[in-house]
Structure 1
Amino acid sequence: MTPFAVLRAPSQVLFGTGMAEATGRVAATYGRRVLLITDPIIAGTPGFGTVETALRAAGLDVAVSTDAEVDVPSTSVDATVALGLETQPDVVVAVGGGSVIDLAKVTALLLAHGGKLSDYYTVNSVPGPILPLIALPTTAGTGSEATPVAVITDPDTQMKMGVASSHLIPRDAICDPMLTLGAPATVTAHSGIDALSHAIEGYMAAANEPTADLVLSRPQIGKNGLSDTLALSAAGHIAANLERVVQNGDDLEARSGMLYGSLLAGIAFGNSGVSTAHALQFAVGAATHTSHGLGTGLLLPYVMEFNRPARPDDLSALAIAMDSPGDVVEHVHALGQRIGLPASLAAIGIEHDALRGMAEASIGFKRLVDNNPRPLDVPALERILDAAWHGQPARLSEEAASVG
């Protein structure tokens, strides 16, 4: 048994088909006024209708915001906070994917504490609890219903920025696989491989010296016993269901397996953190305007291969958990190809001479880079990108074999 384990998670998790119908009863425990946040597409779905009906059936006053947009621009934040200031909610309810839930997190933060979002960019700078937040995910991917992080677009730099604090973890996560049935195949694939990256990077996070200061000063503290257990289980569920659900989006059993794996991965990396695939994705996404999940999923096997010398036992454990038919890095790489990920960075329009600049940009995401189990610098990041540009994780294996 490990002597070091940390678990921060929602106070209540309700998982299962039909659980969305409980939203009204859960929300009523916080008060009578609800701010219900979603996006214009999800607002027209039967799943959203189930949630709104449940809230109104509980006798609650519901104000609906459909201002959520991908990557949470400042216009979405401003409009949703303005509605919150007008209606003074007792509880915030989010129905959607990662951007919707992240918008709800920062809205609940600003309604509780005021100021500008930039006031909270420093890790753990949220001074106290935010408004109670109930999160209902409609994709199996981000795990945002269980994490202490919200990613938004900074209005000045137009770069994605993270607000990280354990106070951002939703109070309640209601995970109903029925809400994910309408997700298109591409969204299912990209969000699903992102969930796998959360599980694997969370499991392979840096191992830090366990101290009280570490635990109390950071919402995500690196590899530990509880996050490891959840991450391995998450990887197994996702590996067993991802290809299946991309092929048949009406497969409720596979949808359930994916949503369960995504939830576990969210709790796992919410405590351990993620690392290099996510740091590099910020640069890849900015250059290509491709989805977050596409970037993390494409880069994941290359980061795994780079880290092989530092964590061979972790890769072996992942291979067992994922029932890998051979090498687990090859398994992850092949799985990405089978669900439709691009074959390489070159395939999404990145020029080879741009790789150095992307590596230099990525090294600045210190919270992520420092959580990698093997030390990173700009040349190392460039080598990972080079292998991904060629579409060949094995380009890193010769170097990996020569290290320690």
Structure 2
Amino acid sequence: MSDFLLQDLQNMGAKKVCLMTDRNLAQLPPVQTVLNSLVRNNISFQVYDGVRVEPTDGSFMDAIEFAKKGAFDAYVAVGGGSTMDTCKAANLYASSPHSEFLDYVNAPIGKGKPVTVPLKPLIAVPTTSGTGSETTGVAIFDYEHLKVKTGIASRAIKPTLGLVDPLHTLHMPCQVVANSGFDVLCHALESYTAIPYNMRSPCPSNPIQRPAYQGSNPISDIWAVHALRIVAKYLKRAVRNPEDLEARSSMHLASAFAGIGFGNAGVHLCHGMSYPISGLVKTYKAKEYNPHGLSVVLTSPAVFTFTAQMFPERHLETAEILGADIRTASTQDAGLVLADTLRQFLFDLNVDDGLSALGYSKDDIPSLVKGTLPQERVTKLAPRAQSEEDLSALFEASMKLY
């Protein structure tokens, strides 16, 4: 990997490189390999290892300040989604130094301005198999003032290049493999069941005004379905056997495939509802890392029961890919069949029994609904519109899974 990285940086004419990572990963082989290669080849660089896992507006701004001062002409992000997203934001605001932070943040929290400035090359090297952030034009963070997750979404901030090296996945603990795999699962399911691109509104006349997320479409569908087939075949193997290079390689690719799918189609309710779940959690501590994938997947049985009435054939098709026998299932059963299939999948991987296992109760539902409402960027992509009462019912149904 390091040889390719060096050649790519040299081909880009990079003279001063910003290497972004987090403090834990800075001590591990993926980053050490890159550092050794940069030193050996006399490429000028600076390391920023202050990436926060689950970034905030504050941690983004700290990285942005570093990038502005460094005057870099190329960026390398080595890490999970948090590192890649932080690096995208740093590149954007260093390239647009007079912009206010909220200028590019998604509406209704920010102004959601289109990105018109040229950015520097960014090479993303994912070390987890979940976010697919090396393929997307999205950077997610916690906006601490409002206690909600939001982000920046623009095709302009997509990495120039992603180096997907399966050897980087061998250091991942099993619980990280599981939780990141659930992120891939939901990326694929949500993008495949999102409202179709030709039903989404508004439809801006100028392409630069188009949102990064277009709704389900024939090209994203191919990536989503393929990613789902890989998850069905390899996720359990990748979790159960850390030495299974075939399974871990396949999940690393599935993450990128699903990223290409949802990076164009978008996600919807599982992700929209996950943001307040992970933002408001009080007592739960993930077994081995911050549980974004877990917060996404726990609502999936309820969500797809709710959305199935709009496109039941797609819900049945995905249930079959995940192992369900749908020969006698009717379209009216689609939501329940997919929900039961997901529950069995999660049960087999010892997933916590719903939101109650994360410390939530019915008393928290109003706060969870309130945290979901600003996530219009994704919730409007759900194939079925949802009221506050609908969201309350979905959270309630997700308190217990089994």
Please give the range of the TM-score, normalised by the shorter of the 2 chains.
0.7 to 0.9
Are positions 1:23 and 2:5 aligned together?
yes
Q: CA deviation at 1:66?
A: 0.6
Instruction: State the SS of the aligned residue for 2:296.
Output: helix
Q: How many residues align?
A: 374
Instruction: State the SS of the aligned residue for 2:398.
Output: helix
Mapping for residues 159-178 of structure 1, pairs under 5 Å: 159-178=148-167
Give the distance between the partners of 1:234 and 1:53, measured in 2 at CA. 34
Q: CA deviation at 1:212?
A: 6.8
Aligned to 2:50: 67
Q: CA deviation at 1:229?
A: 0.5
Are positions 1:379 and 2:389 aligned together?
yes
Are positions 1:197 and 2:189 aligned together?
no
Q: CA deviation at 1:141?
A: 0.3
Cα distance change on mapping 1:163 and 1:204 into 2, 3 Å? same
CA contact (8 A) 1:105 1:168 kept: yes
Give the distance between the partners of 2:359 and 2:345, measured in 1 at CA. 22
CA displacement, residues 11-32 of structure 1 (integer Å, 9 cap, x when unaligned): xxxxxxxx34411111122222
Aligned to 2:115: 126
Give the distance between the partners of 1:142 and 1:58, measured in 2 at CA. 31
Give the distance between the partners of 1:124 and 1:225, measured in 2 at CA. 28
CA contact (8 A) 1:71 1:160 kept: no
Instruction: State the SS of the aligned residue for 2:93.
Output: helix
Give the distance between the partners of 1:378 and 1:117, measured in 2 at CA. 30
Instruction: State the SS of the aligned residue for 1:160.
Output: strand
Mapping for residues 97-116 of structure 1, pairs under 5 Å: 97-114=80-97, 115-116=99-100
Give the distance between the partners of 1:354 and 1:83, measured in 2 at CA. 38
Cα distance change on mapping 1:225 and 1:215 into 2, 3 Å? farther
CA contact (8 A) 1:325 1:331 kept: no
Q: AA paired with 1:147?
A: T
Instruction: State the SS of the aligned residue for 2:255.
Output: helix
Aligned to 2:314: 314
CA contact (8 A) 2:73 2:120 kept: yes
Give the distance between the partners of 1:338 and 1:52, measured in 2 at CA. 40
Q: CA deviation at 1:353?
A: 2.7
Q: CA deviation at 1:172?
A: 0.2
Instruction: State the SS of the aligned residue for 2:250.
Output: helix
CA contact (8 A) 1:203 1:228 kept: yes
| Correspondent of 1:246 among 229, 233, 239 | 239
Give the distance between the partners of 1:353 and 1:75, measured in 2 at CA. 30
Cα distance change on mapping 1:273 and 1:73 into 2, 3 Å? same
Give the distance between the partners of 1:142 and 1:271, measured in 2 at CA. 14
Instruction: State the SS of the aligned residue for 2:347.
Output: helix
CA contact (8 A) 2:22 2:53 kept: no
Aligned to 1:343: 353
Aligned to 2:303: 303
Aligned to 1:364: 374
Q: AA paired with 2:193?
A: M
Instruction: State the SS of the aligned residue for 1:152.
Output: strand
Structure 1, unmatched stretches of 5+, are 1-18, 393-404
CA contact (8 A) 1:160 1:282 kept: yes
Are positions 1:330 and 2:340 aligned together?
yes
Give the distance between the partners of 2:246 and 2:325, measured in 1 at CA. 23
Q: AA paired with 2:154?
A: S
Q: CA deviation at 1:385?
A: 1.2
Give the distance between the partners of 1:131 and 1:333, measured in 2 at CA. 44
CA contact (8 A) 2:195 2:383 kept: yes
CA contact (8 A) 1:65 1:83 kept: yes
Instruction: State the SS of the aligned residue for 1:175.
Output: coil
Q: CA deviation at 1:269?
A: 0.3
CA contact (8 A) 2:149 2:276 kept: no
Structure 2, unmatched stretches of 5+, are 107-111, 285-290, 327-336
Q: CA deviation at 1:128?
A: 2.9
Q: CA deviation at 1:75?
A: 4.3
Mapping for residues 266-281 of structure 1, pairs under 5 Å: 266-281=259-274
Are positions 1:388 and 2:393 aligned together?
no
Q: CA deviation at 1:109?
A: 0.5
